[in-house]
């Protein structure tokens, strides 16, 4: 959550600057001096560069983190003179080239730093800097808290599931329906606790913590995921149509990529009609791999498109073709896995009907 808050703060500041530069009437009372005062007093380091990587603004906190005392008094100074860090320069140019936010964790002298680069118009880039030591401490504390809560919930849930099994063995016609509902709700709570724990871990994962990265063969991974879903799909005569340009691999955590593909396919199966088809295509282009999942369901509403990747969001239950309920966290987990791997996920409606989910991941170099 701390990383997300930092990115939101960076995006908000850059949005304000763009709105102000365009002389938006709703910002007619906002002065450049006030905007600079906010950035100057921010608890995080701020660095704003033009298209030639010249420093146009650097606040006091950024000076201290970059060990560049007095840099704020200089204008049009090349970044290489203020901070000769090739890692930072590379991530800034990468953000400008891809026009997407980029982040970096690296060591500068005795300091462990984190940088978030956000591209703007005309080649401008805003960079937010944080000390990684305090950041990691807060992330670890938050993850411990969530893990402790999840652990405390697992024990009574397991006990209640055992009680439910015992009641089911002795249930009569009058109580069988109630016992079945109890078991179903307990299983839902168990999945919810597991999904919350996984989502918390993903949100609090720094890139250098992903030590399990290895080449992952995506067509093979899709086949493995479908093997697990096949019994549920065959029960409703739903089949998978897989199309891949060629063997392709991405560099990442195989278990988490497995979870992302599983959530996308499970979502497609739940919304597909009996006897339907789920199409999955894999395409590699310009250093990226695009995994597309399409179903034959009723498609996505405007609310779905706006909120479907948010926590606990659920669409209209009448649109679901399966009686299996989800935790409302599946697509939020997919989004976080995509972000952790340097990619993104997006949704749309197919012109011929049904929903389309696109997972974009960088191809293994």
What is the Rg, in whole angstroms, of the alpha carbon atoms belonging to the chain? 24
Specify the pLDDT at position 145: 65
Q: Is the pLDDT of residue 341 over 90?
A: no
Where in the chain do CATH 1.10.287 domains reside? 135-203
**Residue 352: band (very low, low, confident or very high) from pLDDT cuts 50, 70, 90:** confident
Question: Would you tell me the crossing angle of helices 176-203 and 330-340 to the nearest 10 degrees?
Answer: 20
Measured CA to CA in angstroms, residue 193 lies from 158, 164, 188, 310, 324 at distances of 12, 18, 9, 17, 17
Count of CB atoms within 10 A of residue 46's CB?
22
Q: What SS3 class is residue 284?
A: strand
Residue 65: name the closest of 118, 10, 110 by CA: 110
Question: Pick the residue with more confidence: 186 or 147?
Answer: 186
Which of 330, 86, 84 is CA-nearest to residue 198?
A: 330
Fold that domain 135-203 belongs to in CATH: Helix Hairpins (1.10.287)
**Residue that the structure tokens 């420093």 belong to:** 55
Question: What is the 8-class DSSP label of residue 273?
Answer: P
Instruction: Provide the pLDDT confidence category of residue 135 given band limits of 50, 70 and 90.
Output: low
pLDDT category of residue 112 using cuts at 50, 70 and 90: confident
Q: What is the rounded distance in angstroms from the CA atom of residue 342 to the CA atom of residue 364?
A: 12
| Environment class of 52 (CB within 10 Å of its CB; exposed 0-12, middle 13-18, buried 19+) | exposed
Query: Distance between CA 355 and CA 348 in Å, rounded?
Result: 6
End-to-end Cα, the chain, rounded Å: 30
Residue 240 forms beta bridges with which residues? 278
**Which neighbouring-strand residues pair with 114?**
105, 130
Largest CA distance in the chain: 82
Start and end residues for every CATH 3.30.450.20 domain found in the chain: 2-131
Per the listing, tokens 């249930």 go with 171
* Helix, strand or coil, per DSSP, at residue 313: coil
Percent of the chain scored above 90 by pLDDT? 26
- Angstrom distance (rounded) from CA 147 to CA 101: 29
CA distance 264 to 106: 33
Is 2-131 in CATH node 3.40.50.620? no
Residues 6+ apart with CB under 8 A from 27: 16, 19, 20
Contact yes or no for 308/345 (Cβ under 8 A): no
Domain with CATH 3.30.565.10 in the chain: 211-362
Alpha helices by DSSP H, the chain: 2-21, 32-40, 60-65, 79-82, 86-98, 132-169, 176-203, 218-235, 254-271, 302-307, 330-340
What per-residue confidence (pLDDT) applies to 11?
A: 47
Query: How much is the pLDDT for 174?
Result: 78
- The answer to whether 186 and 220 have CB atoms below 8 angstroms apart is no
- Phi, psi dihedral angles at 359 (to 5 degrees): -110, 115
For residues 105 and 131, give the distance between their C-alpha atoms in angstroms, rounded to a whole number: 10
The answer to whether 283 and 363 are in contact (CB under 8 A) is no
Label residue 6 by pLDDT band (50, 70, 90): very low
pLDDT at 88: 93
Q: What is the pLDDT of residue 90?
A: 92
Give pLDDT tens digits for 235-270.
Answer: 999 999 998 867 788 888 888 899 999 999 999 999
DSSP 14: H
195-239 pLDDT tens trace: 777 766 676 665 545 556 788 899 999 999 999 999 989 999 999
Both tokens assigned to 250: 């991405």
Give the length of the chain.
365
- Which fold, 211-362? Heat Shock Protein 90 (3.30.565)
User: What would the two tokens of residue 363 be?
Assistant: 């191809």
The gap from C-alpha 190 to its chain's centroid, in whole angstroms, comes to 23
**Predicted confidence band of residue 326 (pLDDT cuts 50, 70, 90):** low
């Amino acid at each position: 959550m701390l990383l997300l808050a930092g990115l939101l703060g960076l995006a908000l500041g850059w949005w304000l600057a763009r709105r102000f530069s365009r002389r938006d009437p709703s910002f007619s009372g906002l002065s450049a001096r006030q905007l600079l005062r906010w950035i100057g007093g921010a608890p995080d380091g701020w660095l704003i560069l033009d298209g030639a990587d010249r420093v146009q603004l650097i606040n006091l906190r950024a000076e201290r983190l970059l060990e560049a005392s007095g840099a704020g008094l200089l204008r049009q100074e090349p970044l290489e003179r203020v901070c000769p860090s090739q890692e930072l320069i590379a991530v800034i140019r990468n953000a400008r080239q891809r026009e997407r936010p980029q982040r970096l964790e690296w060591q500068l002298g005795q300091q462990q730093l984190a940088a978030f680069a956000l591209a703007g118009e005309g080649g401008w880039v805003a960079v937010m800097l944080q000390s990684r030591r305090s950041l990691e401490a807060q992330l670890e504390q938050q993850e411990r808290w969530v893990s402790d809560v999840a652990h405390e919930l697992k024990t009574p849930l397991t006990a209640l599931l055992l009680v439910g099994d015992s009641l089911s063995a002795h249930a009569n016609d009058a109580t069988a329906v109630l016992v079945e509902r109890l078991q179903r709700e307990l299983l839902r709570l168990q999945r919810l606790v597991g999904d919350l724990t996984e989502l918390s871990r993903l949100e609090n994962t720094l890139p250098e913590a992903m030590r399990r990265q290895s080449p992952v063969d995506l067509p093979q991974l899709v086949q493995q995921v479908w093997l697990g879903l096949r019994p549920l799909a065959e029960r409703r005569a739903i089949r998978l149509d897989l199309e891949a340009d060629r063997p392709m691999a991405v560099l990442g955590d195989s278990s988490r990529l497995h979870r992302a593909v599983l959530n996308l396919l499970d979502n497609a199966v739940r919304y597909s009609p009996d006897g339907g088809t789920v199409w999955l295509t894999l395409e590699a282009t310009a250093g990226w791999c695009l995994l597309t999942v399409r179903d034959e369901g009723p498609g996505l509403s405007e609310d779905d498109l706006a909120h479907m990747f948010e926590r606990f969001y659920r669409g209209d239950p009448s649109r679901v073709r399966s009686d299996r309920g989800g935790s409302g966290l599946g697509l939020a987990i997919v989004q976080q896995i995509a972000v952790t791997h340097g990619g993104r996920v997006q949704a749309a409606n197919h012109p011929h009907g049904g929903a389309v989910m696109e997972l974009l991941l960088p191809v293994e170099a």
